Amino acid sequence: GAMFGKTEKLVITVGGMSCGHCEGRVEKAVMLCDGIKKAKASHSERTVKITHAAGSVVNMDEVRAAITELGFQME
């Protein structure tokens, strides 16, 4: 039970976001992926910061597919 509530962060680079609306769409899509608690996109930094449960493995293929489907590029 020591892992409860603990989270880990990872940052991915996403190209093609140009505005807050784009960020919102990317965040929504990424948060639907397995095990992801939070996503914070920044079009100026070209990043998406992902928060997931500690010890859980983020399926990067799923994340990439979600982002690509919106027309953005995960780098």
Q: What is the pLDDT of residue 3?
A: 56
CB burial of residue 18 (10 Å; 0-12, 13-18, 19+): exposed
The alpha carbons of the chain give a radius of gyration, in whole angstroms, of 12
Per-residue pLDDT of the chain in tens (75 residues, 90 and over written 9): 555 679 999 999 999 999 999 999 999 999 999 999 999 999 999 999 999 988 888 999 999 999 999 999 999
Q: What is the pTM of this model?
A: 0.89
Q: Which residues pair with 42 in a beta bridge?
A: 47
Q: What is the pLDDT of residue 4?
A: 64
